[in-house]
Chains A and B, each alone.
Chain A
Amino acid sequence: MVSEAQATRPGAVSAPLRLELVLAGLAVASVIELLILRTFTRTAVHIPALSELRDPYEALASLGRYAYYVSAVLLILSLPFAVARLWGRGDLYARVAAAAVVLFALTAAVARADAASVILVDVLTVGAVIMAASAAAARMDAPGALVLGAFATAFALQGTSTMLQDAASQGYGSYETRWMLWGAEWLALAFAALAPLGLAARPSRLALGLAAIAGLVMFAALLANGSTTKILLLWNEGLAGTLPSVAYAVGAAALLATALGLLRQRRLVVLAGFVLLITGGIGLHSTYQTGLVVAGMVALCIGAREAPRTARGTARAAQEPSAPGRPLASSS
């Protein structure tokens, strides 16, 4: 992130717009979009008295759509920033990540223009995610790489399943892909459950309590209103919800614990990347959601060696060994 000296100097001069700031803004906008547009508007349409609440509902739905467009603009903005930053670093991982961003941006543009085979678009977007995830995983230690590997493999399995189904819709034969969906479900939950360990997030006791509450809320939501909750899981995250409810409750708790732990450690770039993976979900939904995942992997690649800070804000960076290549988290 921004170096402390720069960040605290009043009226500091310098600094073109920073990639970290764009990624953080993207994470915030995508969370708002996820909560309002993808979740609230899809459930609130069933409020019995909605006709009487039509104006507030439409205002909120419009706000959700606006959050989507803000998120989309920030996503588009982040891509050239990321390429410039990553390529300029000169090390192998950063350049692979930059290539992944370029590959994704070109593919998304081609897909929007409807100028290429849907199979090609599927393969290239999944490939871009794998490349970005590999670059991010290569900059992490083994547990972090394992966690990112679980996410990327889940994404690749779901994406390959979609690709094969799209191949069928193009007339290229039909293929059984149930095992891919099943494997992706397990791996996505493994990613969620192992995220606190993999990303070395150290949540406070309060955060652990909040995470436990979130897990209970998820469990209760699945028991009390399994229909809506599971449909939202499928729509928003690409999860079919076929495993026991307790698995999703543990996953939700672990995700929140990780996010709060990263926030406590002030590892904001890693936090932004982690949040973007969640708002993007697994599998191919739209180039927007895939873009969030790519941006998330870029953020994790940049912030992988970001020094955790203690609750008092003391940087431990000075004592930590340097990353392979130069640390990307330094100011630009």
Chain B
Amino acid sequence: MLILRRIPRWATTGGALVAVLLCAGLLQLANANPAASQTLTLTAWQASEDPGLDPNHELWSRTQFVQAPLTAQAGSYAAGGGSIPVVWARALHYNNTLYVRLEWEDSTQDGSALKVEQFADAAAVEFPAKSATSVPSVCMGQADMGVNIWQWRADSLGNPNELYANSVVDTYPSTDDLFYTARAAGNPYANPKQGPVQNLVAVAFGTLSPAATQDVQGQGAYSNGRWSVVFSRPFTGASEDLAAFTAGTSTDIAFAVWNGSEGDRNGRKSVSSFLTLNVSGAAIPEPEGSDWLVLALAAGALLVIGGGGIGLGLYGLREGKRSA
């Protein structure tokens, strides 16, 4: 310390600054991040049996959920999106197939988009593409790091003849695609073989397009003002622009929900930021266990620290007044 005091201040400050800049440069070169992530984690547990696509399967009630806060994403004017504040997410895997279940509150079941002013409820999950080396932008990815999106729509539920029972259409004499213009144009939503979930890829705004492989399955159910939707896909992604999963590893996952009665469609929706998806090799934990002990300890620690803090603050204020 004495030696330091004999050195002019500009020299010590300048030297320290150079050392800091060098250290930062070395850390960047080594790509060594000294910080640890503290974002939410959704764990996909190993299921003991196939949960299937039924959102009400008994396995889901035994699976812990994570509440992901959503924020508005309006198209161009902040009058839409954000009407769904939170989504409950659960995940499982069975026989190298990932199952993700989303649940959210929605007082209106918007399952039809027959009129131009009608929009269907929908939900989506987003993952980084297999080729992404880091976390891509949650907004449709970026040029060097794409995203894989699975979107389910409520208006794909059920039989169209039942959903639109009072509609009348001419009978086409031909079943050739040429007479079904949307199908002929490659609109996957017009494809009768397409399930309720579209498998999509994107590398930036305006690049969202159907993936070459449509292998994502899904099913939704509406009950008591809540939607529940299950998505499912085998771990292995067919190409580099799709997500891939492996037990014992982590990736990222984000959610989006559209509320049709609020005019949500396309970019107007409620979205989360990326969470960590941990594909665990462990089985679903039993609800009985030491959860209360751990949480009681955690709550106790917070209460002690918080109470101590408030006490300290009040003591400080009193002392401050006294000394004034």
Q: Interface residues, chain A, CB within 8 Å of chain B?
A: 11-17, 21, 25, 42, 45-46, 48, 50-51, 65-66, 69-70, 72-74, 76-77, 92-93, 96, 108, 111-112, 114, 118-127, 130-131, 133-135, 137-142, 145, 149, 152, 156, 160-174, 176-178, 181-182, 222-228, 230-231, 233-235, 240-242, 245, 284-291, 321-324
Contacts and interface: CB of A to CB of B under 8 A. Distances in A.
B137 A45 contact: yes
B305 interface: yes
Given A131-B305, A286-B36, A16 B4 contact: yes
7 contacts: A76-B34, A166-B40, A171-B64, A227-B72, A227-B74, A287-B38, A324-B323
| A interface majority secondary structure | helix
B92 interface: no
A204 B201 CA distance: 51
Nearest to B283: A171
Interface residues of B, number: 89
Contacts of A234: 69, 71, 273
A108 B36 contact: yes
A242 B72 contact: yes
Nearest to B86: A178
A286 B316 contact: no
Contacts of A321: 323-324
Nearest to A161: B67
B294 A167 contact: yes
Contact of A156 (B8, B306, B317): B306
A173 B287 contact: yes
B5 A15 contact: yes
B41 A226 contact: no
B313 A138 contact: yes
A126 B142 CA distance: 33
A73 B278 contact: no
A69 B34 CA distance: 9
B183 to A, nearest CB: 30
B39 interface: yes
B38 A16 contact: no
Interface stretch (B12-20, B158-166, B238-246): B12-20
B76 interface: yes
Given A16-B1, A46-B137, A223-B78, A169 B312 contact: no
Given A137-B316, A233-B71, A288-B35, 8 more contacts: A70-B24, A73-B23, A111-B36, A122-B38, A130-B305, A139-B320, A145-B316, A245-B78
B25 A66 contact: yes
Contacts of A16: 1, 4-5, 12
Contacts of A112: 34-36
Nearest to B297: A123
B190 interface: no
Given A16-B1, A46-B139, A324 B67 contact: no
Q: In the complex, which of the residues A74, A152, A230 has the most CB atoms of chain B within 10 Å of its own CB atom?
A: A230
A137 to B, nearest CB: 4
B278 A169 contact: yes
Interface of B: 1, 4-10, 12-13, 16-17, 20-21, 23-25, 27-28, 33-43, 45, 64-67, 69-78, 81-82, 85-86, 88, 137-140, 142-143, 204-206, 267, 271, 273, 278, 282, 284-285, 287, 289-291, 294-295, 298, 301-302, 305-306, 308-310, 312-313, 315-317, 319-320, 323-324
Contacts of B73: 226-227, 230-231
A27 B34 CA distance: 18
Contacts of B9: 12-15
B142 A135 contact: no
A112 B33 CA distance: 9
Contacts of B40: 162, 165-166, 169
A135 B312 contact: yes
Contacts of B315: 92, 138
Contacts of B17: 25
Contact of B312 (A92, A111, A224, A242): A92
A142 B82 CA distance: 36
B77 A231 contact: no
Q: In the complex, which of the residues A92, A112, A138 has the most CB atoms of chain B within 10 Å of its own CB atom?
A: A138
B317 A127 contact: no
Closest 10 pairs (CB-CB, A-B):
A138-B316, A171-B285, A134-B309, A226-B78, A288-B35, A45-B142, A69-B24, A284-B38, A172-B291, A227-B73
A70 B319 contact: no
A242 B82 contact: yes
Contacts of A242: 71-72, 82, 85
B103 to A, nearest CB: 11
A156 B302 contact: yes
Given A138-B317, A227-B72, A72 B35 contact: yes
A114 to B, nearest CB: 7
Contacts of A145: 313, 316-317
A320 to B, nearest CB: 9
Contacts of A160: 302
Contacts of B65: 168, 174
Contact of B139 (A70, A165, A231): A231
A93 B41 contact: no
B35 A108 contact: yes
A13 B8 contact: yes
A97 B255 CA distance: 39
Given A168-B65, A169-B278, A224 B273 contact: no
